[in-house]
Copies of this chain bind each other. A is one copy, B any other.
Amino acid sequence: MANRRASITDLAKTLGLSPSTISRALSDHDDVSEATKARVRQLAEELHYQPNQLAAALRRGRSNTLGVLVPHITGHFFPQVVHGIATEAAKLGFNVMICQSNEDTRQEHKNIDLLMNSQVEGILVSLANTTHDFGHFEAVRQQNIPLVFFDRVVEDFEGSNVSAVVLDDYQGAYQVVTHLIEQGCTRIAHFSGPLHLNIHKNRHQGYLDALSAHGLANDKDLEVFCEMNQKGGMQAMRQLLKLPQRPDAVFSSNDLAAVGALQVAKIHRLRVPQDLAIVGFSNEMFTSLTEPMLSSVDQRCEQMGKTAVQLLQKMLKSGPNRQGPPKPIVLKPKLLVRESSQRR
């Protein structure tokens, strides 16, 4: 009994009206009599009429749907951003279609095609880390579908309908180091991931610039490139403790490695933050669970998603004909000082 759904035509026949009147009544169009509207609405209710968005979208040429393409929906960052996107999109009346590239350019390519085929009105993308060629976004640009990159963006890909939302990692790192200096730290070490990744490059540069801005020398021994996980942080910390003059602070480019540093510090009976101040990056959930609680930098994940959607909507509204692409939006990170770096 595959109960076919009631259609506008069905309503029209039942009420002896034309489909157009039904359509207008349902969308509360001005020039339909209240009496008719009432009749239509009641019958629609009774028959559990559900408008077929596919048909409406096809006819209107607008699908009311946004496409989202992320590397994955795991870990801390992307779920939060996706949450922000979904929430804001719902608020603005958009549906959201979500794809994962699994950090694979080929998948990314396919998914872009898929989203285009689905007639999404705009696309939000965070790039796979294997993506270096941007041919697959050419079609999006050509068809003037608004495209917003977030977090992992293309630097040199411009178009009147392309924009980006990113976090100011440089600024975040700069704040951290400034804070540590204010706490009286003078030998500030840095754990960094590979510099070909933007996030690490920018955080690293923020570290260097903050040091020199405050007249501190950059001691190469204090820069450690390590695996940015707990184990990597532990190794890096052990390495630092072997130095003739050990550091009095560690700024880690992520929270996991910072936890590693914290654990090694405790093993070596260093008091945190008195002997060694530690600050991480990303404000992962577990930063409030360590002892002492770990200072970190909030990446405004949810805000990023929200902002990206708002930007997309702005592009959608202003239409494709205008001068130049919108400026990228740079979100300010927020330093959260907790016990691990608060010497008071």
Query: A residues bordering B, Cβ < 8 Å?
Result: 1-3, 5, 48, 50-55, 57-58, 63, 65, 72-74, 78-80, 82-83, 86-87, 90, 95-100, 102, 113-114, 116-119, 139, 142-144, 230, 256, 259, 263, 266, 285-286, 288-291, 320-321
Listed A/B pairs (30) with beta-carbon separation below 8 Å = A5-B143, A48-B139, A48-B142, A50-B117, A50-B139, A53-B119, A55-B58, A58-B58, A65-B97, A72-B83, A73-B73, A73-B82, A73-B83, A73-B86, A74-B79, A78-B79, A82-B98, A86-B100, A90-B99, A90-B100, A95-B97, A95-B99, A96-B98, A97-B97, A98-B98, A256-B289, A263-B291, A286-B289, A289-B289, A289-B290
Contact B52 A54 (CB under 8 A): no
A56: min CB distance to chain B, Å: 9
Name the residue of chain B whose CB is nearest to the CB of A141.
Answer: B3
Q: Say yes or no: B50 contacts A3, CB within 8 Å.
A: no
Most buried by B among A5, A78, A80, A102: A5
Q: Which of B58, B100, B118 contacts A87 (CB 8 A)?
A: B100
Tell me the bound Cα distance from A118 to B143 in angstroms: 24
Q: Determine the residue in chain B with the shortest Cβ distance to A115.
A: B95
Q: Which residue of B lies closest to A93 (CB)?
A: B114
Contact partner of A95 (CB less than 8 A), chosen from B114, B142, B290, is: B114
A1 lies within 8 A of B144 (CB): yes
Complex alpha-carbon distance, A114 and B288, angstroms: 38
- Residues of B within 8 Å of A53, CB to CB, are 117-119
Q: In angstroms, how far is the closest chain B Cβ from the Cβ of A156?
A: 22
User: Contacts A3-B143, A139-B50, A289-B290: A98 and B86 contacting too (C-beta < 8 A)?
Assistant: yes
Shortest Cβ distance from A119 into B: residue: B54
Given contacts A55-B58, A98-B96, contact A289 B118 (CB under 8 A): no
